[in-house]
Each structure stands twice: as structure tokens, then as C-alpha cells.
Structure 1
């Protein structure tokens, strides 16, 4: 009986491994007609044009380009940032930013920003797939994301992101603001979220002791 259970345990482990590989395999990427992906070092001022006019959002934080450049050019221990531009017919349609950082159990990745004005499900599905593919060479043990936009949320679920708990959005102002007339777009590109998790060690072992504390 013990031997038989051992065999069943082995079969069960193999089945779970196969199921996990199927579930977490890279999502097949599709590219819309005329679509192209451009990898850039850091986001430029041109992305601000995407926030002008009718965006389809009632609440939309503007990106701090100088802050994002500071993050991307910071200390190596803060992680690797990858910025992608998405164009349709040669025109910038959206942009995204991902981060890969070393964690206690291995590399971790995060979709810091995924944004396009007047988004469609197919557009965000394409962008999410490309951003996830950009971090796969680092073999992250997990990829985090946040989305208050229902269209982006649907695209993340299509990419097999697991939904966590819902967090309320608080707004402080005087007088109290009215509810936004449309959906809001809140991602990990707010406050200090692009720096979380904060590295526990800022200097690698190879240079430890070479830098004198102030």
C-alpha cells in the first residue's frame, strides 16, 4: 500500500508540474496590423502627448518623467528598468515600463506602467504580452501588476495574472471632489511603488568594504 501511494504521489506531482507549466507558459503574442514595439532606454517627454485631449479616463495621474529617469539611472541594486513604446502606423499609441529586481527567493518583476489613451482590450492585451515577454529572459519567480482600469484588468487576466484583493482609492481635497466621470487609471507608477520591494543590500559583496560610510 505504501508503495502504491508513493507511485500515486509521484504521478500527482508530475500532473501538477505539467499543469503549472501549461498555465504559466508565455502567452502567445499577437501584433495588430501596423503595430510595432520600440525599446527605449528611458521614457521621454513625447509620452506626455498621450495624456492630452480625450483619454477615456476620468482620473489619470501624469507621469513624472524626471523621476522615472532618475529611477532608471539609479543604483544597480534598485533593479533593471525596461521601457517599451507601442506604435500603430508609425504613431505612438501607448507605452509601458517594467522593472526586474533581485528578491530573497530570486528575481521579481513588476509592470510599473501600462498606458494608452482610449484603450481597447486588444491594444492592452498586446501591450501586456510584450511587457511580460520583455522580463522573461530574467526568469522572474513572479510578475506583479496593478490595474484600476477594467480594460487593463481584463487584459491582465487574459495573460494569466491572478487577481488579488481590491484596495479602495482615497482622495483628499477641499472641498471634497465629486466622483470622476469615468474610469480611473492607477498602476504601480504612483508614489514610491516603483521602488518596492526596496533592496535589502545596496552594494554587492564584491565591493563591500570598498565604500566607506559617510
Structure 2
């Protein structure tokens, strides 16, 4: 137990350097562990957050510790609910519904945050535990299905393609194929999926368009691939 207490204290001392609250946190952890019949260990959860697991007679429980704020004295003085700006709104859900034919439960785009007609679009999908796919995928570990991530990205591609600049028709627009798709990290409830779709090549004569898609969560790439769209004709 003494060894694990020392390791925990050293870890927090090295990771959270020179702020007073950081020193208080280390002191609190040290005194808390020493004053109870417990052992502890440090690990990372699947999302990369540091966990301090304290094992007591009644069982063990994880404490998730965010170290980033403690490293930044200025950020530390700002309440976390005021620290991050919201994504801008270029198209709201009503404007998206005017363009895309999809409806619940298959409309997977909530907001467009950047848009260049006929060229590219960046949009978000707020992933929540209330999404209808989570009860079955999976009951004990909710993960957004990869096929739905691809579908959401294709819908963002539709927002680019269904414009006069491209000549796409809402009545004759199809997701025709995918290539080089890779899933880098799982997407879970509470994540904001940020998707960028960019037009690479357009063949109006054949009604085909090739697009590049990338999806991110918190700046980390979670999915990427190349998409083939069939624009058809009126």
C-alpha cells in the first residue's frame, strides 16, 4: 500500500506542476489514502482519461482526473461550463431537413458548422445515449456502429452535392460506394462527431462524384474514407 501511495503522489506531482490547487490535490490524495485501509492504482480508461482506482473493503471505484486544466492557471480560473465556445451554426436542423430527404431515425446530421457550396461541408452529430441504435450496440458497452458513422458522413456529402453548383437532384441522389474506410477509435454516447466531406472529383456527364471524408471526436480522427455519390438527373 505504501508503494502504491508513493507512486500515486509522484505521478500527480510530476503531471500537475506549479499551481496551488495542484499541490492541494496531491496533498489531499496522499492524506486520504494514508488515513484509510485502501490500496490504489493508476490506469487510463478507453477514452484516455487518467483513473485513480481506490480499493477499499467495500470494493473499488474509479476517480477520473482531468489534468489539462491544472496545467493551465488561466483556464483553471474559468468555470468549465464557460471555458469552451459552442460550434457556430451555418445550417440548423430545419435547413438540413430542407435539403436532405432523411428523417427520424435515420437523419444523422444535427448542424452544419462550415459550408462551401459545391466544394465541402463540416457538420456535427451529437451522439447521445437516447440514439435508437445504442440498446442493441451494445447493451453493456454503447458504441456508435461504424456503418452509421459512414452513413452520417455520406449525409454530409449529400449537403454538398444537392446544390445547384453541383447539379445534384434530391429525387435522384444515391450513396454509390465506399473505399479505403478505416475506423480509428470508437465513438460513444456523449461524443460530438465532427465530419468533414470534401469534393475531390465530379463527372457531371456520368452523374458521379468522388468525395473524401474524415470524422473527428475532440480533435482525434475516428473514421476516414473515400465516398462515391451518384447524382443522377431530374
TM-score by length of 1: 0.30
Structure with more of its chain in helix, by fraction: 1
Structure with more of its chain in strand, by fraction: 2
Structure with greater contact order relative to length (CA < 8 Å, sep ≥ 6): 1
TM-score by length of 2: 0.28
